[in-house]
Structure 1
Amino acid sequence: MNVRRSAAVLAATVAIGTATPAVAASPSPSPSLPSGLYGSSDPTYDGVWRQSLALIALYRVHAEPAAAAVDWLAGQQCESGAFPAFRANPAKACDAKLMVDTNSTAAAAQALSAVGGHGTAVTKAVTWLKSVQNKDGGWGYTPGGASDANSTSVVIGALMTQHTPVSTIRNGAKSPYDALLKLSLPCADGGAFAYQPDKNGKLTANADATAAAVVGALGQGMVSVKAGDKKNAACTDAARPTPEDAAANGSAYLAKAVAKDGHLTSALPGSENQPDYGNTADAVVALAAQGGTAAATGPLRWLERNSAKWAEQNGPAAYAQLILAAEAGGADPSDFGGTDLVKQLTATGPAPVTASQDDSGTSVWWMVGAGLAAGAGIGFLLSSRNKRKQP
């Protein structure tokens, strides 16, 4: 769930070439900014993604988003059920030149399920995702692309809005969990998840993919993810590992990765190693989901001390990531290291509706939303979305 999404999606577009002509061309490079959109940067490569995260984050803190924000997201959907990263002209029907992708579609499905009132749109999105499932049980970023841990995990979150056990969603014999298990490394190699195998079939540990896959393997998602029972982080090889085994091993890898400095490190080609704020936020969610809030304390406190400038520079998706980390890790999003994340997020877009309350002081919106979430069995994403294969 990395906010460095634009370059990653652009790279995916270039890499596709003519292999999948139905989604080969990129959207307009200089769109005007819709009034209902969160953030002021060019939404060409991340509009639907950041809007979805913003709506989910507001839902998590009991704030009803503005109708214009929800309508904008719903209006991005194509007739097929898929979502592109951004449609500059929603009044124009989607055509073969518009690139649609699994990540935008899965995130939007989760967001629209959370806000309620868009059941048909959510069902169409999930139906489309099922139609492009790979035979190994997973998903790539674009239809027909090789399965990766990040895309498979965010789709798991969308699938869980439909009341059907994820293990039964199959293309042939394989389920999404089979795809994730295929990308998990043994304890001798750290127990992490790889993003994808390299051209020789080798798996390389990837912290971004691991943070996403831990949550996906646990069958959770951005809307419903919560701290699990307190467990010690330990990697254990099993003869026939389950998704829960792989999640535990991935969590042990993340715990070790953040133990020294409190954060994950980005090592992009051509640049110096530096703290990776977005993936650290994702790691907090993964660690808390697997091992309880105590497991996420170190990186969560580091984010509280150090993430304010990063979030200000990166906008709504960054604030949403931090809200999700705070919620999962047991911190207060309205006072996160002295920053009111909710206030900062809402300042980037249309103001949310003030939650009405009943006589007991309970938010009526939250009561309705909580009922919708419980009924839908909403799942997670996680992740990302840095499509680079980082060590």
Structure 2
Amino acid sequence: MNVRRSAAVLAAAVAIGTATPAVAASPSPTPSLPSGLYGSGDPTYDGVWRQSFALIALHRVDVEPAAAAVDWLAGQQCANGAFPAFRADPAKACDAKLMVDTNSTAAAAQALSAVGGHGTAVTKAVNWLKSVQNKDGGWGYAPGGASDANSTSVVIGALATQDTPVSKVRAGAKSPYDALLKLSLPCADGGAFAYQPDKKGKLTANADATAAAVVGMLGTGMLTVRAGDAKKAVCADAPTRTWQRASANGAAYLAKAVAKDGHLTSVLPGSENQPDYGNTADAVVALAAQGGTAAAAGPLRWLERNSAKWAEQSGPAAYAQLILAAKTGGADPRDFGGTDLVKRLTATGPAPKATSAPAAESQDGSGTSVWWMVGAGLAAGAGIGFLLSSRNKRKQS
């Protein structure tokens, strides 16, 4: 769906010793696209991810998706509860050759929870995620891979759909929060989160990972996050760094990162630095969740002015991500800088069943309807179609 997803697939392939997908080479023939799928791009690397984001975003704006769209996503699930990035032949049983992953599974669990009527499928997905939890309390992209901030955070979002508190989902003595705390940096290094330690164990600040971890540390995710109480983003170290303090410190890092230009910047080797629309949308969600809508106002306004072309080129996941940012940040997704994001998203897939009036918003923009949620990180990217934006998990500042 985007480069973040591409980076995750590549990293996972290296981590488990498989051949690296040739995403930079000539693409293989595009699979025949089912009618229920959002977007027209090759779904090989992001089909489940972009479908999940689309369903979550539509749920957020009170739009009931077509049954075909929901059925397609539900049909991607394997018997053990896991989801792959894309399953070309749902009639064929999943086997060891099919690569399932935590990100697709966690996103799909949240989407199916949003649309309702799939409680068994959601429970199976969450149980599978629990079964592959690492000893440090976190998750990597591939089951058994080293824990990373993004994967751990998206799984937290899936866990939040259940009755069990996230802090009690443990591998031994470690919870998901413990895994994220290990990836948080002190204020001397900006208070950000790293994606993963490097080979020498060093942590490097990463904006994409930070946006995801800020939301994850709050025990929420795409389906359950909303704007928090208004407060300033201040980094403050303490003798014992708590989950809440680490989230606040991460938000302070993001606030500083967007203060100058209003957006985050994509830093990719061999290319000029440029605005990172997807990660900026993720930052809006994180800033609003941690410090209220006012904390996200700057980058949200920048997205309203500048994101239309990016979303048009990137596809349904980008529109979904902007809808989630708009709703969390207190903007109108039906008039986002003059663009009706809801109309643009629904045009990329099967016509929805019905659209109700927008839910009433409270003063902080969080809304009073039960149809709320938000997403962290992700869009249709270069070459294979989000993980959202032209982001590189390991290289981005």
Q: Which residue of 2 aligns with 1:68?
A: 68
Cα pair 1:113 1:161 within 8 Å, conserved = yes
Task: Quote the offset at 1:224 in angstroms.
Answer: 2.0
Q: Distance in 2 between matches of 1:290 and 1:17?
A: 35
Cα pair 1:109 1:121 within 8 Å, conserved = yes
Task: Quote the offset at 1:381 in angstroms.
Answer: 5.8
Q: Deviations over 1:210-254 (max 9, x none)?
A: 000000001121122111111011000011111110010000000
Task: Quote the offset at 1:383 in angstroms.
Answer: 2.9
Length-normalised TM-score, structure 2: 0.90
Q: Which residue of 2 aligns with 1:136?
A: 136
Cα pair 2:192 2:206 within 8 Å, conserved = yes
Cα pair 1:215 1:381 within 8 Å, conserved = no
Task: Quote the offset at 1:9 in angstroms.
Answer: 4.2
Task: Quote the offset at 1:387 in angstroms.
Answer: 5.6
Cα pair 2:160 2:224 within 8 Å, conserved = no
Cα distance change, pair 259–54 in 1 and its aligned pair in 2 (3 A):
same
Q: Secondary structure at the match of 1:146?
A: coil
Q: Deviations over 1:261-286 (max 9, x none)?
A: 00000001111100000000000000
Structure 2 residue identity aligned to 1:388 = K
Task: Quote the offset at 1:24 in angstroms.
Answer: 10
Structure 2 residue identity aligned to 1:139 = W
Q: Secondary structure at the match of 1:59?
A: helix
Q: Which residue of 1 aligns with 2:181?
A: 181
Cα pair 1:107 1:381 within 8 Å, conserved = no
Write the mapping of 1:249-288 to structure 2, written as runs, cut at 5 A. Answer: 249-288=249-288
Cα distance change, pair 29–146 in 1 and its aligned pair in 2 (3 A):
farther
Task: Quote the offset at 1:30 in angstroms.
Answer: 3.1
Structure 2 residue identity aligned to 1:8 = A
Q: Distance in 2 between matches of 1:272 and 1:244?
A: 36
Task: Quote the offset at 1:49 in angstroms.
Answer: 0.2
Q: Secondary structure at the match of 1:237?
A: coil
Cα pair 1:194 1:206 within 8 Å, conserved = yes
Match of 2:377 among 376, 383, 387: 383
Q: Which residue of 2 aligns with 1:15?
A: 14
Q: Deviations over 1:146-180 (max 9, x none)?
A: 00000000000000111100000001110000000
Q: Secondary structure at the match of 1:335?
A: coil
Task: Quote the offset at 1:18 in angstroms.
Answer: 3.4
Structure 2 residue identity aligned to 1:12 = A
Q: Distance in 2 between matches of 1:61 and 1:3?
A: 23
Task: Quote the offset at 1:103 in angstroms.
Answer: 0.2
Task: Quote the offset at 1:319 in angstroms.
Answer: 0.3
2:335 paired with 1:335? yes
Cα pair 2:138 2:152 within 8 Å, conserved = yes
Structure 1 residue identity aligned to 2:127 = T
Cα pair 2:285 2:374 within 8 Å, conserved = no
Q: Secondary structure at the match of 2:325?
A: helix
Q: Secondary structure at the match of 1:214?
A: helix
Task: Quote the offset at 1:136 in angstroms.
Answer: 0.2
Q: Deviations over 1:63-82 (max 9, x none)?
A: 00000000000000000100
Cα distance change, pair 16–243 in 1 and its aligned pair in 2 (3 A):
same
Q: Distance in 2 between matches of 1:346 and 1:192?
A: 35
**C-alpha root-mean-square deviation of aligned residues, in Å?**
2.5
Q: Distance in 1 between matches of 2:356 and 2:103?
A: 33
More displaced 10-residue stretch of structure 1: 5-14 or 295-304: 5-14
Cα pair 2:78 2:93 within 8 Å, conserved = yes
Q: Deviations over 1:91-147 (max 9, x none)?
A: 000000000000000000000001000000000000000000000000000001000
Task: Quote the offset at 1:16 in angstroms.
Answer: 3.6
Cα pair 1:156 1:380 within 8 Å, conserved = no
Cα pair 2:324 2:374 within 8 Å, conserved = no
Cα distance change, pair 131–184 in 1 and its aligned pair in 2 (3 A):
same
Q: Distance in 2 between matches of 1:370 and 1:171?
A: 35
Q: Which residue of 1 aligns with 2:154?
A: 154
Q: Which residue of 1 aligns with 2:301?
A: 301
Structure 2 residue identity aligned to 1:236 = A
Cα distance change, pair 236–98 in 1 and its aligned pair in 2 (3 A):
same
Show structure 2 runs of 5+ residues with no match: 361-367, 379-386
Structure 1 residue identity aligned to 2:63 = A
Q: Secondary structure at the match of 1:162?
A: coil
Cα pair 2:285 2:375 within 8 Å, conserved = no
Write the mapping of 1:308-347 to structure 2, written as runs, cut at 5 A. Answer: 308-347=308-347
* Amino-acid identity (%): 78
Q: Deviations over 1:277-320 (max 9, x none)?
A: 00000000000000101000100000000000000000000000
Cα distance change, pair 9–232 in 1 and its aligned pair in 2 (3 A):
closer
Q: Distance in 2 between matches of 1:319 and 1:350?
A: 15
Task: Quote the offset at 1:356 in angstroms.
Answer: 6.4
Structure 2 residue identity aligned to 1:55 = L
Q: Distance in 1 between matches of 2:22 and 2:101?
A: 12
Q: Which residue of 1 aligns with 2:163?
A: 163
Structure 1 residue identity aligned to 2:6 = A
Q: Which residue of 2 aligns with 1:145?
A: 145
Task: Quote the offset at 1:11 in angstroms.
Answer: 1.4
Runs of 4 or more above 4 Å deviation = 23-26
Q: Which residue of 2 aligns with 1:111?
A: 111
Q: Secondary structure at the match of 1:183?
A: coil
Cα pair 1:217 1:243 within 8 Å, conserved = yes
Cα distance change, pair 17–222 in 1 and its aligned pair in 2 (3 A):
closer
Cα pair 2:324 2:375 within 8 Å, conserved = no
Cα distance change, pair 90–387 in 1 and its aligned pair in 2 (3 A):
farther
Q: Which residue of 2 aligns with 1:366?
A: none
Cα pair 2:311 2:318 within 8 Å, conserved = yes
